[in-house]
């Protein structure tokens, strides 16, 4: 199904779900759960915690449906709720990271390797990244969000997001021992 068709389909389902149709919401869940879970799993690195976050995110989404604006993307809105849920669950003194702001950094979110890398190896390298760098890479690099969108989702400055992407690129280069453009 083409992307615009998916969006139209989502809009119709969202409209039904807003009127209290749980079946329509279940369909939305089935269509989006894989992507939301992938996002939560990569951010938390913990399957049980990721599942909790997914569950909570969908429950929050159901409750917040009356506030959802139909012109926005349901997928982006849902991801924002999921990211917020992950941040809430991991919130604590040990997770505090000092933001490194570098407004001069120009970071391309797309990362290309000069020689192919095995999927498992890449997943493991991403998993080993520090939290801030991993969050920025997952949202921008894997899920294709603009840096400004990712920064807004994570509650950080765009400069910080760019700096974290820069950091992620350098660390991936070291850990995968290959060029990353």
Partner 1 sequence: MNRRLTRVDELKRDIPPGRDLWPAISAAIEADKAAAATPPVAARRRAAWLPVAGMAAAVGLVAIGVLIGLSFAPQVDTPPVANTPTYGSPEMMPAAYRNQRDALLIEVQAKLSSMPEVERKKVASSLATLRRSIDEIEAALGRDPANALLQELFVSSCQEEMRALTAVRDSGSQET
Residues at the interface with partner 1 (CB under 8 A): 20, 22, 25-26, 29-30, 33-35, 37-39, 41, 47, 50-51, 54-55, 58-60, 62-64, 67, 81, 84-85, 88, 91, 96, 98-99, 110-113, 116-120, 122-123, 126, 137, 141-144, 155-156, 172
Task: Provide the minimum distance between the beta carbon of 98 and partner 1 in the complex, in angstroms, as a whole number.
Answer: 7
Task: Provide the minimum distance between the beta carbon of 8 and partner 1 in the complex, in angstroms, as a whole number.
Answer: 20
Q: Which residues of 19-48 are buried (b: 16+ CB within 10 A; e: fewer)?
A: eeeeebbebbbebbeeebbebbbbbbeeee
Closer Cβ to partner 1, 12 or 72, answer by number: 72
Closer Cβ to partner 1, 3 or 96, answer by number: 96
User: 176 and 117 in contact (C-beta within 8 Å)?
Assistant: yes
Task: Provide the minimum distance between the beta carbon of 158 and partner 1 in the complex, in angstroms, as a whole number.
Answer: 13
φ, ψ (nearest 5 deg) of residue 40: -65, -40
What single string gives the DSSP state of each residue in 33-84?
HHHHHHHHHHHH--HHHHHHHHHHHHHHHHHHGGG--TTS-HHHHHHHHHHH
Closer Cβ to partner 1, 105 or 157, answer by number: 157
């Amino acid at each position: 199904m083409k992307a615009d068709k998916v969006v139209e389909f989502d809009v119709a389902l969202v409209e039904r779900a807003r009127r209290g149709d749980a079946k329509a919401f279940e369909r939305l869940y089935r269509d989006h759960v894989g992507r939301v879970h992938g996002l939560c799993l990569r951010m938390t690195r913990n399957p049980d915690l990721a599942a909790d976050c997914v569950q909570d995110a969908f429950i929050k989404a159901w409750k917040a449906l009356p506030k959802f604006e139909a012109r926005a993307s349901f997928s982006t809105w849902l991801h924002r709720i999921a990211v917020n849920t992950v941040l809430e669950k991991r919130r604590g003194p040990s997770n505090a990271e000092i933001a490194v702001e570098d407004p001069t950094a120009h970071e391309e979110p797309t990362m290309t390797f000069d020689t192919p890398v095995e999927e498992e190896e890449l997943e493991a390298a991403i998993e080993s990244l520090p939290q801030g760098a991993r969050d920025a890479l997952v949202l921008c690099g894997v899920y294709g969000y603009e840096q400004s969108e990712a920064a807004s989702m994570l509650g950080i400055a765009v400069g910080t997001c760019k700096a974290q992407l820069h950091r992620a690129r350098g660390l991936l280069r070291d850990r995968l021992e290959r060029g990353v453009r």
